[in-house]
Amino acid sequence: MKKEHVLHCQFSAWYPLFRSLTIKSVILPLPQNVKDYLLDDGTLVVSGRDDPPPRSQPDSDDEAEEIQWSDDENTATLTAPEFPEFTTKVQEAINSLGGSVFPKLNWSAPRDAYWIAMNSSLKCKTLSDIFLLFKSSDFITRDFTQPFIHCTDDSPDPCMEYELVLRKWCELIPGAEFRCFVKENKLIGISQRDYTQYYDHISKQKEEICRCIQDFFKKHIQYKFLDEDFVFDIYRDSRGKVWLIDFNPFGEVTDSLLFTWEELISGRNLKGDFSEGDALEQDSPAFRCTNSEVTVQPSPYLSYRLPKDFVDLSTGEDAHKLIDFLKLTPPSASPFSSTDKPCLNPRHAQTAVAAAWGAMPSMH
């Protein structure tokens, strides 16, 4: 995967070519001061909020006393920076798209931060909704700081012009989304997008779904994208119509879902047992889905709700943190220190780590 392949998957690079096949969207240049605000590691104070409603007067002296809980005149009030011109442009774009949008940057959407929103979704009505998701998302930070992380070429990183992408909000059913893998302009694999859940209709209609996606690819996508190796996401609605959702680079930076990148790059064992019993044509792509409720998994986005140190510790991905944790020992033979504060011994530490491993979903 080269840097030019990543650049070709920017939303603004492919949207003009496939506008009629996808969801209506608006692209806005992201000002430098907005980017700086989104990358600021300080306390999360969301900019772009409407003025709060006026507070009602207290009904009694007791209530007034309760409200005046701090007499410290030196208490600092955190205020968010304001971007009036950009806020106006964003709100006009949101209104032009029906009042609700799905936001993303050049490549990524803040899917890992949906839990922090008041509605627990990526549906945004104001710039403050977007800022809350973006400032809470590791995916967005990666777009800013490591867009070419898995690229193999040593050429200097191109100068990036970041953009805010606003897509008209549509209620998409997760069980109707699929990820498609293309190598040398040939569709080699299709995976259920929401692989953590079992959907009965996918198992029953997999041949029909596969043919439908193949027809869409041959008619609208094949030989029309800027590269010959790429990944694209589609949505198949209740009428059987296929909609283009996004493009992604063909490489490790993109989630391979029910495939492995070793399989996709080498082409070996792609179909395995998936094609023989399904009576699929020999030249058709491998199609993989969650085949039973037994294989249902926790959502991989759940770990983003926890502090990173705990995730690293529970998954064993940071050996140094695990070693430090196991070295926690009491200063004496007593299970409590001289100050009567609980102290963890190595056996308890190992039990806690094992429990954490069992509680955490696998990210692979």
- Do 162 and 32 belong together in one domain? yes
What is the reported pLDDT for 117?
A: 84
CA distances from 330 to 16, 62, 343, 344 (A): 64, 48, 6, 7
How many independent structural domains does the chain possess?
2
Q: How many residues does the chain have?
A: 364
The answer, yes or no, to whether residue 65 has pLDDT greater than 90, is no
pLDDT bucket at 73, cuts 50 / 70 / 90: low
pTM (predicted TM-score)? 0.74
What is the reported pLDDT for 316?
A: 60
What is the reported pLDDT for 155?
A: 87
pLDDT bucket at 353, cuts 50 / 70 / 90: very low
- Do 189 and 158 belong together in one domain? no
3-state secondary structure the chain: CCHHHHHHCCHHHHCCCCHHHECCEEEEECCHHHHHHHHCCCCCCCCCCCCCCCCCCCCCHHHHHHHCCCCCCCCCCCCCCCCHHHHHHHHHHHHHCCCCEEEECCCCCCHHHHHHCCCCCCCECCHHHHHHHHHCCHHHHHHHHCCCCCCCCCCCCCCCCCEEEEEECCCCCHHHEEEEEEECCEEEEEEECCCCCCCHHHHHCHHHHHHHHHHHHHHHHCCCCCCCCEEEEEEECCCCCEEEEEEEECCCCCCCCCCCHHHHHHCCCCCCCCCCCCCCCCCCCEEECCCCHHHCCCCHHHHHHCCHHHHHHHHCCCHHHHHHHHCCCCCCCCCECCCCCECCCHHHHHHHHHHHHHHCCCCC
Taking only the tens place, the pLDDT of each residue in 119-174 is: 889 999 999 999 999 999 999 999 999 999 989 988 898 999 999 999 999 999 99
- Do 117 and 253 belong together in one domain? no
The answer, yes or no, to whether residue 348 has pLDDT greater than 50, is no
Taking only the tens place, the pLDDT of each residue in 298-327 is: 555 554 455 555 555 555 656 665 566 566
Cβ atoms of 297 and 360 closer than 8 Å: no
- Do 29 and 150 belong together in one domain? yes
- Do 218 and 156 belong together in one domain? no
The answer, yes or no, to whether residue 208 has pLDDT greater than 70, is yes
CA distances from 62 to 66, 68, 179 (A): 6, 10, 60
What is the reported pLDDT for 295?
A: 56
In a domain, 219, yes or no: yes
Mean pLDDT of the chain: 80
- Do 263 and 194 belong together in one domain? yes
Domain of 184, CATH number, reads 3.30.470
In a domain, 59, yes or no: no
In a domain, 143, yes or no: yes
In a domain, 63, yes or no: no
Cβ atoms of 328 and 349 closer than 8 Å: yes
Q: What are phi and psi of 101, to 5 degrees?
A: -140, 165
In a domain, 300, yes or no: no
What is the reported pLDDT for 344?
A: 44
Overall average pLDDT of the 251-270 stretch: 93
- Do 132 and 213 belong together in one domain? no
Closest by Cα among 41, 190, 22, 176 to 104? 22
d(CA 17, CA 4): 17
What is the reported pLDDT for 243?
A: 98
Overall average pLDDT of the 246-261 stretch: 96
- Do 36 and 138 belong together in one domain? yes
Q: Please give the residue range of the domain that contains residue 96.
A: 24-42+83-168
What is the reported pLDDT for 306?
A: 52
What is the reported pLDDT for 154?
A: 87
pLDDT bucket at 87, cuts 50 / 70 / 90: very high
- Do 179 and 87 belong together in one domain? no
Overall average pLDDT of the 330-338 stretch: 45
- Do 133 and 200 belong together in one domain? no
d(CA 262, CA 230): 15
In a domain, 230, yes or no: yes
In a domain, 127, yes or no: yes
What is the reported pLDDT for 166?
A: 98
Q: Please give the share of the chain, as a percent, with pLDDT higher than 90.
A: 59
In a domain, 346, yes or no: no
Identify the domain boundary among 115, 144, 168: 168
- Do 151 and 112 belong together in one domain? yes
- Do 158 and 221 belong together in one domain? no
